A = this chain, B = another copy of it.
Amino acid sequence: MLKDEIRVIGIDDSPFKKFKRGQVLVVGTIFRGGKYFDGILSTKVSIDGNNATKKISEMINNCKFKPQLQCIFLNGIAVGGFNVIDVKELNKKTKLPVVVIIRKKPNIEKIKETLIKINKKNKIKLIEKAGSVIPVGEIYMQLTGISIEKAKEILKIVCTRSLIPEPIRIAHLIASGITDGQSRGKA
């Protein structure tokens, strides 16, 4: 049995305008279970760049909450557009299980086509590495370093206010609220 106060991090990026260059804010919120907001981390990654895995693993490994953390939740496998996260590498560097949360079933073939079109064929590997898309209730997940049963057990604890883990919902609100002056939409 998992403790109700299991410490997890949920990660999301800020919105940005199409064709913008530069960096986007990435926010990680740390929760005890699905209710207690414990702290936040932030970093920046380049739009459509290649540094998301490095920046996010450093952000997690350097934080004071690291010894207590038990799971990483990502809102999709990319931040800042096509700055795709290598989930296997993130798992290896942080020694933490990684659960990618996906709201709508992704059209992997379409994503691959787009990556070829925009000359980012090298990212297809990363998408394939993320593993099978597993339905869970009304959403989907991809798992690294954790069993389906255990991931489902953690989801039950952390999805307190919506279909998605509370730390992802809040990371989304923060990232958009800081960047746009007002939070909006759903994670």
Contact = CB atoms under 8 A, between A and B. Distances in A.
A25 B40 CA distance: 15
B182 A37 contact: no
Contacts of A37: 37, 170, 173
B177 A40 contact: yes
B173 A42 contact: no
A25 B178 contact: yes
Categorize the interface residue count of chain A: 20 to 34
A27 interface: yes
Contacts of A59: 181
Interface string A55-98: 00001001110000000000000000000000000000000000
- How many of these chains are in the complex? 2
A43 interface: yes
Interface string A146-187: 000000000000000100000000100110011001111000
Contacts of A41: 177, 181-183
A35 interface: yes
Given A36-B161, A161-B36, A42 B181 contact: yes
Interface string A15-28: 00000000001010
Contacts of A63: 182
A184 B41 CA distance: 10
B36 A183 contact: no
A40 B161 contact: no
Nearest to A58: B181
